[in-house]
Amino acid sequence: MKVKQMKGSYALFESLLAEKVDTIFGYPGGSIIPVYDALYDYTDRINHILVRHEQAAAHAAEGYARVSGKVGVALVTSGPGATNTITGIADAMMDNTPIVVIAGQVATTALGSDAFQETDLVGVTQPVTKWSYQIRRPEDIPWAVSRAFYIAQSGRPGPVVLDLTKNAQTGICDFSYQKTEFIRSYIPDPEIDKEVIEQAAHIINAAKKPFALIGQGVILANAEKEVKQMLEKANIPAATTLMGLSAISSKHPLNKGMLGMHGNLGPNMKTNECDVLIAIGMRFSDRVTGKLATYAKQAKVIHFDIDQSEIGKNVKVTLGVLGNIKESVPMVTDLLTEQRHDDWIKSFEPLERKEHDKVLLKEVEEAKGPIHMGEVIAKISEATGHKAVLVTDVGQNQIIAARYFKYTKTRSLVTSGGLGTMGFCLPAAMGAKLGAPSRTIFAVCGDGGFQMTVEELGTILQSQIGIKIILLNNNKLGMVRQWQKLFWQRRYSFTDMINPNFNTIADAYGIRNRMVNKREEIDDAIADMMKDDKAFLLVVNTEPDVMVYPMTPAGDDVTNVLLEESSK
């Protein structure tokens, strides 16, 4: 091993290079100046994107990680810089996104004294990180960085925080780097029990009406192919969670759509009809299950997951298959008999037709009157032959975009699923563009969420990030209004927005833009948007009274699906 003497701040970059980091999203400040000083000597190897707010650095790191499968990195100063990242960290925790947030911290001698810009970052972030660690000596930097990257991306991924004291940055240390491959208190890939594999195969082989639920775990494990092989061999219809979208092509005949509160009718109804429910890399969130007491009670439940604490957490299971699904799923597939479940698969069709007639026609195919969000999404999806990456914000725009976009490649949806973070879209899309420069990135947001991180237009300007922003403007906090309309007697408390001229804002940042008010203008505007690789803002003024259907009211039976306003 080579040993070299250097400052901690340089050891940090040498460590990051050893982890193959080439992109960092960050914002400087007093307690991280030594690191930024060292960065000045690394700009040939590290692309630092100067964001406009630290929350965006964290979300951008998330977007980068989600499309590339690599670890996203954010670099910020202590105190307010660090606390600004917490929303992004919590978001990454909920959605298992591997990011490492490196924050400056006051010198160890000042710790605990309420020094200027001192925040107990480790204390504050412990509940929302996989690991958070304070580095107090320069010689600990390589060790801590190496652990951080190992922990962030192994097992069930998640965010890691490194709280880097100023003296660790400025002090001198002997640098040598060793990649972490083992931590004795941490077993990221538990051994797979062969007996359990046999039991799983036995249950699936005996199933008459099997149904598979695919979560983001499949994407995180790079197990898309393995899962597809299992479905095809035993002829099992499947649906994905919101986070699992794009793990299997929208066009695959066994893909029956999306689960959950605003999922497709078929998958939600069939959940309570199947005889074996095969959950793969998903966590039975309340947005998927609705009322647990009536959820899939008739079925045997098999749960494939890498995290022991997820198995049986929300839904009681017949069998938990613990381990990396990239290995466990093919082990089960090997033991499966080739099967046909044609009648069972056919039984999804009437439900698909019903949803098509009641929802899809109105929203997309035969939309009338003011522009509907769904028809816009269908068109942008088509514009790239369904090969683009969709990044969404939160609200109606998110659900409609996720529903009507088509996915033919994995890692094509970046959305804030678990935390539901408004303002996620713009910065996450920037990160996604840096993580997958050759792909088209659509950033779909609402007028509310867009304004939560609108400052990032500055980052897009400065770093020339060519994302295509589609602002679905209903001049409402639409999703909250939808709940007020359905469940709170139309008492529209503070969900109307008086909005600025979004196009003028884009002009100010030198971002090419268009506004669309009529259906006939959509195609031309999209063609204009797709003309080059540069950033573009497409403002679409939609109907004001957007309602997203189908909808299963929170906490209701999964089969209690509303298809239109009057159907309750």
Partner 1 sequence: MEERTLYTVTVFSENRVGLLNQISIIFNRRQLNIETLSVSPSALRGIHKFTITTYTDHDTIEKVVAQIDKRVDILKAYYNTDSELVYQEIALYKVSTNALLKLGSIESLIRQHNITILEITDNSVVFQKTGLYDETQRLFDELQQSIGVLQFIRSGRVAITRSKVERLSDMLEQIEKIRERKSKHA
Ligand X SMILES: Cc1ncc(C[n+]2csc(CCOP(=O)(O)OP(=O)(O)O)c2C)c(N)n1
- Residue numbers at the binding site for ligand X (CB under 6 A): 393-397, 420-423, 446-449, 472, 474, 476-480
The rounded distance, in Å, linking the Cα atoms of 81 and 88 is 12
Q: Is 309 in the site for partner 1 (CB under 8 A)?
A: yes
All residues at 6 or more sequence positions from 326 whose CB lies less than 8 Å from its CB, including other chains: 221, 222, 223, 226
> Closer CB to ligand X, residue 237 or residue 550?
550
Find the catalytic residue in 4, 5, 116, 198: 116
Question: Has 116 been annotated as catalytic?
Answer: yes
Smallest distance from ligand X to CB 549, Å: 14
Region from 265-273, 303-311, 338-346, 547-555 binding partner 1, contact rule CB under 8 A: 303-311
Q: Which does 478 bind (CB under 5 to 8 A by kind): partner 1, ligand X, none?
A: ligand X
Region from 37-45, 85-93, 129-137, 164-172 binding partner 1, contact rule CB under 8 A: 129-137
Among 44, 114, 181, 195, binds partner 1 (CB under 8 A): 181
Region from 308-316, 399-407, 447-455, 529-537 binding partner 1, contact rule CB under 8 A: 308-316
> Closer CB to partner 1, residue 133 or residue 348?
133
Find the catalytic residue in 54, 310, 363, 375: 54
Question: Has 195 been annotated as catalytic?
Answer: no
523: number of CA atoms within 13 Å, CB side?
A: 1
The rounded distance, in Å, linking the Cα atoms of 30 and 187 is 38
Tokens of 509: 């940042």
User: Residue 214: which H helix or E strand, with range?
Assistant: strand 210-214
Question: Has 169 been annotated as catalytic?
Answer: no
Among 131, 295, 404, 549, binds partner 1 (CB under 8 A): 131
According to DSSP, the β-strands at 389-392 and 319-322 are: unpaired
Site for partner 1 in 87-126 (CB under 8 A): 122-123, 126
> Closer CB to partner 1, residue 112 or residue 253?
112
> Closer CB to partner 1, residue 91 or residue 393?
91
Q: Which does 55 bind (CB under 5 to 8 A by kind): ligand X, partner 1, none?
A: none
Helix (H, G, I), strand (E, B) or coil at 80: helix
| 501 close to 510: Cβ distance less than 8 angstroms | no
User: Residue 36: which H helix or E strand, with range?
Assistant: helix 33-39
Phi, psi values for residue 430, rounded to 5°: -60, -45
| 541 close to 471: Cβ distance less than 8 angstroms | no
Q: Is 184 in the site for partner 1 (CB under 8 A)?
A: yes
> Closer CB to partner 1, residue 111 or residue 530?
111
Q: Which does 322 bind (CB under 5 to 8 A by kind): ligand X, partner 1, none?
A: none
Q: Is 134 in the site for partner 1 (CB under 8 A)?
A: yes
Q: Is 187 in the site for partner 1 (CB under 8 A)?
A: yes
> Within a 10 A sphere around the Cβ of 337, how many other Cβ atoms?
10
> Closer CB to partner 1, residue 182 or residue 494?
182
> Closer CB to partner 1, residue 190 or residue 370?
190
**Total residues interacting with partner 1, rule: CB under 8 A:** 21
Among 5, 112, 183, 346, binds partner 1 (CB under 8 A): 183
Question: Has 191 been annotated as catalytic?
Answer: no
Q: Is 178 in the site for partner 1 (CB under 8 A)?
A: no
CA-nearest of 545, 478, 467, 543 to 506 is: 467
- Name residue 50's beta-bridge partners: 26
The rounded distance, in Å, linking the Cα atoms of 554 and 250 is 26
Find the catalytic residue in 6, 117, 139, 327: 117
Placement of tokens 């790079």 in the chain: 222
> Closer CB to partner 1, residue 43 or residue 185?
185
Q: Which whole-number Å values give the CA distances from 1 to 62, 77, 175, 317, in the listed order?
A: 33, 32, 10, 49
> Closer CB to ligand X, residue 237 or residue 417?
417
CA-nearest of 483, 481, 474 to 552 is: 483
Smallest distance from partner 1 to CB 93, Å: 12
Among 127, 338, 489, 490, binds partner 1 (CB under 8 A): 127
Find the catalytic residue in 7, 70, 130, 166: 166
> Within a 10 A sphere around the Cβ of 452, how many other Cβ atoms?
22
Smallest distance from partner 1 to CB 282, Å: 17
Q: Is 295 in the site for partner 1 (CB under 8 A)?
A: no
CA-nearest of 220, 21, 167 to 101 is: 21
| 77 close to 163: Cβ distance less than 8 angstroms | no
CA-nearest of 399, 400, 406, 445 to 426 is: 445
User: Residue 132: which H helix or E strand, with range?
Assistant: strand 131-135
Tokens of 252: 């695959």
CA-nearest of 410, 322, 306, 391 to 69 is: 410
The rounded distance, in Å, linking the Cα atoms of 568 and 566 is 6
Question: Has 258 been annotated as catalytic?
Answer: no
Q: Which whole-number Å values give the CA distances from 379 to 324, 404, 407, 469, 499, in the listed order?
A: 37, 9, 13, 14, 25
Smallest distance from partner 1 to CB 96, Å: 13
Q: Is 307 in the site for partner 1 (CB under 8 A)?
A: yes
Among 83, 250, 294, 308, binds partner 1 (CB under 8 A): 308
Residue showing the smallest CB distance to ligand X in the complex = 446
Q: Is 194 in the site for partner 1 (CB under 8 A)?
A: no
Placement of tokens 């022991």 in the chain: 308
Smallest distance from ligand X to CB 472, Å: 6
Instruction: Give catalytic residue positions.
Output: 54, 116-117, 166, 479
Q: Tell me which residues touch partner 1 (CB under 8 A).
A: 122-123, 126-127, 130-131, 134, 151, 181-187, 191, 307-309, 312-313
